[in-house]
Structure 1
């Protein structure tokens, strides 16, 4: 008979306990995002289109990457509700920011 590794049991126990970690009043970021209509830039939009539609970002973070040709430069613009990631002047991803400190989910892009 084959024995399962010990970490399999630990992982299973953690997954079973996970729902109990959230209190009844807690809101998960994913629940809010699913409940609200998505009013964020679409993938493929240009920087100028994003700025024309959503206005100037509250913060333009320093670009990352670009040291090599295979590592494109990624620009990040922070808006009050979301952060936009650009590669070569085009939107590649949009991440919804945390609404409150009590909301479970990724940390806000702004400190």
Structure 2
């Protein structure tokens, strides 16, 4: 009896094995992201105020109105988008 139950277990497991899959993480693509320095794409840093960003980078090409609570505002520049919470930068995303 024991060999039959082992055989059934092996058959059951082998039937679900083809369903398993994995994604490939491309580390090279991540390392190619520009640094927030003079060597890469210079962009606002977290904690900067709206006034400081405007003084350093000029007026954005698009200012989207705030959404949600706390208010999150987006400023779009040619190479990146800046996200503000209230008056402070929380993130900058480089356009690809």
Q: Same fold (TM over 0.5)?
A: yes
Given the two structures, how large is their TM-score scaled by the length of structure 2?
Answer: 0.66
Structure-2 change in CA distance of 1:8 and 1:97 (3 Å): farther
Counterpart residue number, 1:109: none
Given the two structures, how large is their TM-score scaled by the length of structure 1?
Answer: 0.58
RMSD value over aligned CA atoms? Answer: 3.2
Larger of the two Rg values belongs to structure: 2
Structure-2 change in CA distance of 1:77 and 1:8 (3 Å): farther
Which structure carries more helix by proportion?
Answer: 2
Counterpart residue number, 1:73: 71
Q: Which 4+ runs in 1 deviate beyond 3 A?
A: 6-10
For residues 47-97 of structure 1, what are the alpha-carbon distances to aligned partners after superposition, in whole Å with 9 as ceiling and x for unaligned?
0000000000000012111xxxxx200010000000000001000000001
Specify every segment of 5 or more residues in structure 1 that has no aligned partner in the other structure, as ranges: 20-27, 66-70, 99-111
**1:74-93 correspondence runs (5 A):** 74-93=72-91
